[in-house]
Amino acid sequence: MNLIDLLRMSSANLKRRKLRTFLTVLGVIIGTASIVVMISLGLGMQEAMYAQVEEYGGLTSIDVTGMNSYGGGYYFEDSEQSDPAKYLTDDTLEELKGISHIEAAVPRLTAEALLLKGKYQGWVTLIGLTPEGFAREKIELAEGSSLPDPKAGELQMVFGNGIITNMYDKNGGGGYWETGEYPDIDFMNDTVFYILDTDAYYQTQGNSGMMGENGEQVKPPKKHIVSASGMVDGTPDDYNMHYYDVYCDLETLKTMLKKEFRGKVIPGQPSTSSGKPYNYLVYSSVKVYVDELDNVDGVQEAIRALGYNTSSNIEYMESMKSQFAIIQAVLGGIGAVSLFVAAIGIANTMMMSIYERTKEIGVIKVLGCDLKNIKQMFLMEAAFIGLLGGVIGNVLSYLISFVINRIVSAEAILGVDGSISYIPPWLALASMGFAVLVGMAAGYFPALRAMRLSPLAAIRNE
């Protein structure tokens, strides 16, 4: 029997009992749609996460921090007795150059600063980057902005677009978070001051005697005028990863800090056990850029072997991935239950159909229809139910997914753009294939049964 004839007979049998076929297919439609929609939710979340990671520096960078340093877990009180602390210094950068697959290692130095403008003040973290660091960071600047010039001789700054929300009224009037209004400060054009030695500022502000802890007189800290070279692109409503940061040139920041805190320990920097500062500055972190994703693990291992702490998005990704795998398995499992029920429906339909057609099967056996053909005919019927259900189920899934994405925005739930339900082509294809497979599996035993029917018993059965 050729394939077309088999197909013709199978489909004729399905057409014969339209309502029953429809109900069976309906089961498969619901099963397929529930699997696809469930998995699409998991995939949507995963997609959103990828997008987020991409935004936050991609997957090929590693953040290196020192051991036992201020970046590490615990403080450096006993640093000289116990393990020597591993600070990130220029030596570190040299060390990192010895590791292959590293494209660049850019240090970053951070310092706390206080911005002052009229009655407003606000805490910010100054981040010093090398020119290469700026190039790698790919900060999107607003119009008319430029990156800090390392040769300017003064500390030029690039303000994050959310810094304005940090400014508050020092007399108790509150800031943006209290009033809901942005203070009227234009960092680019207004005269804004900043203070690096904030301890001294508070000591001189608070008590009239202007006395330090040791009784010696504290000089009021120097107020510097901010020289803003640019703003990060975006309004204060658009959050991005540079939102709360203020960037400046690393070397200039070093010089400034050294001058400002001559003979004292710079806040955030380590000191010797006797409380004296080191004669070099310690970076708060080094960002290592790896050439390829596959090498990230290896490079990370190598850096750890040197005694530093590392963290990268890949670890976050890995842990997220396994979490998503679990979520997807659970969601898919819920969907699979309904497809399983549909499979039972198919098996039942096929059994009924065989009982109904016992005589017919007997007759075609007597007339010489091959046993294999009989089996194929019933398997095809079951597969066809699966296919039909799979195809319609997918159409339904796309509709449901569309509606979900319309009603529920991913932004509200996950805090990132993108759709919450995402059906990639492979999912559609795989689910259809799966539906066909389920149909055939459900139809297999009924088909065997049909094949084994005794022709004589079948035709006797009046």
In angstroms, what is the minimal distance from the CB of 5 to other proteins?
A: 5
380 contacts 10 by C-beta, under 8 angstroms: yes
Closest to other proteins by CB, 10 vs 394, is 10
369 contacts 376 by C-beta, under 8 angstroms: no
∠ CA 14-19-24, nearest 5°, is: 70
Distance, in Å, from the CA atom of 16 to the CA atom of 20, rounded to the nearest integer, reads: 9
Closest to other proteins by CB, 119 vs 460, is 460
Kindly report each contact of residues 258-267 with a partner whose C-beta sits within 8 Å and lies 24 or more positions away, as own/partner: 260/196, 260/197, 260/221, 260/222, 261/196, 261/197, 266/111, 267/111, 267/112, 267/198, 267/199
Q: Which two tokens stand for residue 32?
A: 């397929």
Strand partners, 225: 193
In angstroms, what is the minimal distance from the CB of 363 to other proteins?
A: 5
Distance, in Å, from the CA atom of 263 to the CA atom of 286, rounded to the nearest integer, reads: 26
DSSP strand pairing (227-231 vs 156-159)? parallel
Round to the nearest angstrom and report the end-to-end CA distance of the chain: 27
In angstroms, what is the minimal distance from the CB of 448 to other proteins?
A: 13
Say how far residue 348 (Cα) sits from the centre of its chain.
45
Closest to other proteins by CB, 2 vs 274, is 2
Q: Tell the residue number behind the tokens 């014969």, with chain if given.
A: 16
CA quadruple 321, 327, 333, 335: dihedral sign = negative
In angstroms, what is the minimal distance from the CB of 369 to other proteins?
A: 5
Give the interface with other proteins as residue ranges (CB under 8 A): 1-2, 4-5, 12-13, 16, 359-360, 363-373, 455-456, 459, 462
Q: Which residues of 104-130 are buried (b: 16+ CB within 10 A; e: fewer)?
A: bbbbbbbbebbbbbeebbbebbbbbbb
Closest to other proteins by CB, 15 vs 138, is 15
In angstroms, what is the minimal distance from the CB of 373 to other proteins?
A: 7
Residue 142 phi/psi, 5° resolution?
-70, 170
Distance, in Å, from the CA atom of 179 to the CA atom of 168, rounded to the nearest integer, reads: 10
Distance, in Å, from the CA atom of 204 to the CA atom of 193, rounded to the nearest integer, reads: 16
In angstroms, what is the minimal distance from the CB of 354 to other proteins?
A: 15
309 contacts 72 by C-beta, under 8 angstroms: yes
In angstroms, what is the minimal distance from the CB of 416 to other proteins?
A: 57
Strand partners, 295: none
In angstroms, what is the minimal distance from the CB of 459 to other proteins?
A: 6
In angstroms, what is the minimal distance from the CB of 28 to other proteins?
A: 24
Distance, in Å, from the CA atom of 435 to the CA atom of 429, rounded to the nearest integer, reads: 10
335 contacts 35 by C-beta, under 8 angstroms: yes
136 contacts 104 by C-beta, under 8 angstroms: yes
Closest to other proteins by CB, 8 vs 223, is 8
Closest to other proteins by CB, 369 vs 437, is 369
Q: Which two tokens stand for residue 343?
A: 């499979």
In angstroms, what is the minimal distance from the CB of 450 to other proteins?
A: 14
Closest to other proteins by CB, 292 vs 360, is 360
At 372 the three-state DSSP class reads helix
Closest to other proteins by CB, 318 vs 370, is 370
In angstroms, what is the minimal distance from the CB of 443 to other proteins?
A: 20
Closest to other proteins by CB, 429 vs 456, is 456
